[in-house]
Amino acid sequence: MSRILDGNRIRDQIKSECLPRVERLVARTGRPPGLAVVLVGDNPASEVYVRSKTKTAAELGMMGETITLPASTEEDELLAVIEALNQRREIDGILIQLPLPHHVDAQRVLLSVAPDKDVDGFHPYNAGLLSTGREGPRPCTPAGIIQMLKRYEITIEGKNAVVVGRSDIVGKPMAFLLLQENATVTICHSRTHDLASICRTADILVAAVGRPALLTEDHIKPGAVVIDVGINRVESRVEAERIFDAKRLADFDRRGSLLVGDVHPGDVARLSSAYTPVPGGVGPLTIAMLMRNTIECAERRTGIE
């Protein structure tokens, strides 16, 4: 029977480990680690994510500050806000909540964050540190996945790992982190030929493509560990029939939509040795790793080992 990898459990472990580190920083520096989140516009989903981040920071005794700007904010105005945060000593981490309005160059904005405050690990400087195995902020979702695998005592070294998706946020950093753990890594993407046969070579399969239940039984080697990063909302009854069993279809009919990952939920539960559910798998880890990254940035900036 497949083992469910509970992201909430790992999240709580990581948060509990953050508490004494925050206390030590306060004792040494006289202030808690500071996280600033910049939100532009009124995207409801982004607002929920930001509230979750600042709430978690408060729970850990950290200073969480949200800068909310109207959707009409010009790019130069946003850059000026970020530069002011770069200069503030009490701010250890800066997070730009995506997506940004269409008239704003998101890449330019992300590049404006000081690398030593880049708690998302997106800055090219930190991407370079990651690719060369040097210490620095790691993108939160891939770093959380590595924590989950280790804490569930799933062997990474020597295993064949396949990452489906090549984004700068998940796919590429995931591959580098798996390489650092001595896995043999293959990255697949939209131009990969015969995706299913390559996925079936994976002892560890990471799906991060953003397409509902794209990976099915044809892609899963029996006994593989499957990490599903996707969070997709299914609103079509026809699509729901392809993905869900009768019980879940009844839930769909009652609610009008359901969340599903990038991997077919029935197939992964039947074939894998362990897998992350959606929701409740990878998602809870991201904010916990954001808090850990902020604390580590504060420790580096204050010279605490």
The reply to whether 154 and 36 lie within a common domain is: no
**Do 197 and 67 belong to one domain?**
no
Say whether both 151 and 236 belong to one domain. Answer: yes
Q: Report the DSSP beta bridge partners of residue 63.
A: 34
**Domain for residue 218, yes or no?**
yes
Residue 277 burial (CB < 10 Å; 0-12/13-18/19+)? middle
Q: What is the CATH number of the domain that holds 70?
A: 3.40.50.10860
Read off the pTM: 0.95
Indicate if 168 belongs to the active site.
no
pLDDT in tens, 173-210: 999 999 999 999 999 999 999 999 999 999 999 999 99
Q: What is the mean pLDDT of the chain?
A: 96
224 and 144 share one domain: yes
Verify that 179 and 268 share a domain, yes or no: yes
Judge whether 4 lies within some domain.
no
Is residue 305 a part of any domain in this protein? no
Say if residue 93 is in the same domain as residue 170: no
- Answer yes or no: are the C-beta atoms of 275 and 263 closer than 8 Å: yes
Q: Are residues 175 and 109 in the same domain?
A: no
CATH number of residue 268's parent domain: 3.40.50.720
Domain membership of residue 296 (yes or no) is no
188 and 87 fall within a common domain:
no
Task: Judge if 76 and 186 occupy the same domain.
Answer: no
Mean pLDDT of 214-239: 97
**Of 37-51, 64-78, 134-148, 166-180, which gets the smallest average pLDDT?**
37-51
- State yes or no: pLDDT of 305 exceeds 80: no
Number of Cβ atoms within 10 Å of the Cβ of 49: 18
278 and 153, same structural domain? yes
Q: Is 107 a catalytic residue?
A: no
Q: What domain range includes position 239?
A: 140-284
Measured distance CA(189)–CA(208) in Å, rounded: 10
pLDDT of residue 53: 93
Q: Catalytic annotation on 159? A: no
Give the N- to C-terminal CA distance of the chain in Å, as an integer.
42
Residues 115 and 171 placed together within one structural domain of the fold: no
Residue 249 confidence (pLDDT) above 80: yes
- The percentage of the chain sitting over the pLDDT mark of 70, rounded to a whole number, equals 100
- Angle (CA) 177-183-189 rounded to 5° is 70
Categorize the per-residue pLDDT at 275 as very low, low, confident or very high, splitting at 50, 70 and 90: very high
Same domain, 169 and 112: no
Residue range 84-121, pLDDT digits in tens: 999 999 999 999 999 999 999 999 999 999 999 999 99
**pLDDT surpasses 80 at 131:** yes
Check residue 27 and give its pLDDT: 96
Assigned domain for 135 exists = no
15 assigned to some structural domain? no
Are 40 and 97 in contact, with CB atoms under 8 Å apart?
Answer: yes
In order, the DSSP letters of 205-260 are: EEE-S--TT-B-GGG--TT-EEEE---EEE--HHHHHHH--HHHHHHHHHHS-EEE
The number of folded domains in the chain is 2
What pLDDT, on a 0 to 100 scale, did the predictor assign at position 208? Answer: 97
Residue 187 lies in a domain: yes
- Rounded alpha-carbon distances, angstroms, from residue 143 to 148, 202, 244, 257, 267: 9, 19, 30, 30, 26
pLDDT of 304: 81
Among 118, 120, 203, 262, which one carries the catalytic annotation?
Answer: 120
Find the DSSP H helices in the chain: 7-29, 44-59, 75-87, 106-111, 124-131, 140-151, 171-180, 195-199, 237-243, 246-255, 265-271, 283-302
Active-site annotation holder among 92, 97, 118, 172: 97
Task: Write out pLDDT tens, residues 1-55.
Answer: 799 999 999 999 999 999 999 999 999 999 999 999 999 999 888 999 899 999 9
In a domain, 134, yes or no: no
